[in-house]
Amino acid sequence: MNRLLVLLLSAVDALIAAAVGVAVVLAPLTVFWVVGLGGTADWGALWPAAVRIWQLGHFVPLHVVLGDEYLVAAGIPAQAATFVVSLAPLALATFTAVFAARSGIRAARSGSWPVGVAAGSGVTLLLAAALWATSRTPVAAVYGWQALLLPTLVFAVPALLGALVEAWRGGDDGLVDAVRDRIDGADPRRGHPWVAAVAASARGTGIAVTGLVAVGALLVAVAAIARGGQVVSLFEAAHVDAVGGGVLALGQLAYLPTLIVWGAAFAAGPGFAVGAGTAVSPAGTTLGVVPGLPVLGLVPEGSTPWLFALVLLVVGIGFVAGAAARARLAADGVAASGSDSAPVRLAVLVAVVVLAAAAAALLAACASGAIGPGRLDEVGPAAGPFAFTVGVEVAVGAAIALFSPARSREAAVAPVD
């Protein structure tokens, strides 16, 4: 595939990702405008609103300024007239990231991944600039550099990672192959164990991060079953009609990945906050006045020390990740036990732990922010404690899997000369 075609396909990928993201937001707002408002309001106001929600979903903080008339009508104190909303509905960013990763993988298979990644990122930057320029509104302002840079990074980083992983697996006749050849030559007598270590580390990290997300999703599902009545009660208390309820439900659905990260933080131990001075964790729950959003009905009102057993799930994930990494090492000719392979297995352990902790920190940073004035400027898990606990728990499980006595079949595998 020639470079021009790769460039065009990557540009189309970026265009589709942005267009679909904005359309997904604009469609329910349009339905609400037609059915709920009877088409009497200014339709032009929907475009800035849709773009602002899309930008928020790509980690662009919104600086909200409420007018005096609204403050009087709603009974809101003047000191709460300006605030920042930065808690992102991660469903939008997740869609863009997945689309970008697929684009990067395809570009790598074509052999021109630098062109593809650069083209997709450049088009995303141009689209972000166009959206920012056409959506000026005094109610929710954004900084221009954030409106351009952050959506571009949401596309560029996954595209680059997808391209590099695929290039490492299949070769690219370029930079990645040169790096791999350099590593291959590190110790040819031992069958190039460090190449195997890279693959094993990637597999272990992928399993650890996927397992952590799966645990978070499991806890959210359990909470939805156990506290579904509270969610319904909050919906009823909102006094919205069918259209308003549908829009509210879709908005909360966009925050489902955010809630999954909160669930993972709860399982790991540190938990999360729903406002400054609050804490929701297995050690205890301390909540003040919580906004009446139906989705927050999933937050438990109390806890029990027995919930610390959830930590074992994360340790188990670490064990599975370590076992998968060890199996990959054995498949690539690295002995499953013995002093010769111990440095390689130790390097894999360190890589899996560090990368899993870094992924946890990134997830926490993406799933935290502000949702209103005052104490509501601190919502979500703290990146540092979440990363530390995930690193320790994954390290325990992975170390057991990587350094426990090997089975006879694994021990029989010898390094390839």
pLDDT in tens, 285-299: 888 777 778 888 888
Query: Cβ contacts of residue 142 below 8 Å, gap of 6+?
Result: 52, 55, 60, 61, 62, 63, 132
CB 299 within 8 A of CB 287: yes
In angstroms, the CA 270 to CA 125 distance is 36
Alpha helices (runs of H) in 88-192, residue ranges in sequence order: 90-110, 113-133, 144-170, 175-184
Indicate whether 194 pLDDT > 90: no
Residue 170: both structure tokens together? 């299949």
SS3 assignment, position 129: helix
What is the per-residue pLDDT for 186?
Answer: 47
Q: Measuring CA to CA, how many Å separate 196 from each of 107, 327, 347? A: 24, 11, 11
Higher-pLDDT residue of 288, 158: 158
In angstroms, the CA 201 to CA 209 distance is 12
User: How many CB atoms are located within 10 Å of the residue 66 CB?
Assistant: 16
The closest alpha carbon to 16, from 132, 95, 91, belongs to 95
Higher-pLDDT residue of 382, 331: 382
Indicate whether 118 pLDDT > 60: yes
190 pLDDT band, cuts 50/70/90, is very low
* Residue carrying structure tokens 């929600």: 53
Instruction: Give how far the C-alpha of residue 80 lies from the chain's centroid of Cα atoms, to the nearest Å.
Output: 30
CB 299 within 8 A of CB 306: no
Please provide the average confidence, as pLDDT, over all residues in the chain.
85
Indicate whether 89 pLDDT > 90: yes
The closest alpha carbon to 257, from 397, 123, 398, 95, belongs to 95
Indicate whether 62 pLDDT > 50: yes
46 pLDDT band, cuts 50/70/90, is confident
Q: Give bridge partners of residue 284 from the DSSP assignment.
A: 281
187 pLDDT band, cuts 50/70/90, is very low
Helix (H) or strand (E) holding 19, with range, is helix 3-31
| CB-neighbour burial class of residue 191 (10 A; exposed 0-12, middle 13-18, buried 19+) | middle
* Residue carrying structure tokens 């579904």: 228
Higher-pLDDT residue of 364, 402: 364
344 pLDDT band, cuts 50/70/90, is confident
What is the per-residue pLDDT for 16?
Answer: 95
Half-sphere exposure of 258 (CA within 13 A, CB side): 31
Indicate whether 39 pLDDT > 60: no
The closest alpha carbon to 274, from 163, 367, 411, 209, belongs to 367
Residue 26: both structure tokens together? 């604009």
The residue ranges of every structural domain in the chain are: 3-186, 195-403
Q: Measuring CA to CA, how many Å separate 120 from each of 13, 19, 251, 286? A: 7, 14, 28, 45
Kindly give the pairing relationship between strand 379-380 and strand 279-281. Answer: unpaired
Share of the chain above pLDDT 90, in %: 48
Share of the chain above pLDDT 70, in %: 88
- The torsion angles phi and psi of 13, rounded to 5 degrees, stand at -60, -45
354 pLDDT band, cuts 50/70/90, is very high
Residues 61-68, mean pLDDT to the nearest whole number: 85
Of 116-125, 141-150, 258-267, 406-415, the poorest mean pLDDT is in 406-415
Indicate whether 417 pLDDT > 50: no
Indicate whether 402 pLDDT > 70: yes
In angstroms, the CA 101 to CA 90 distance is 16
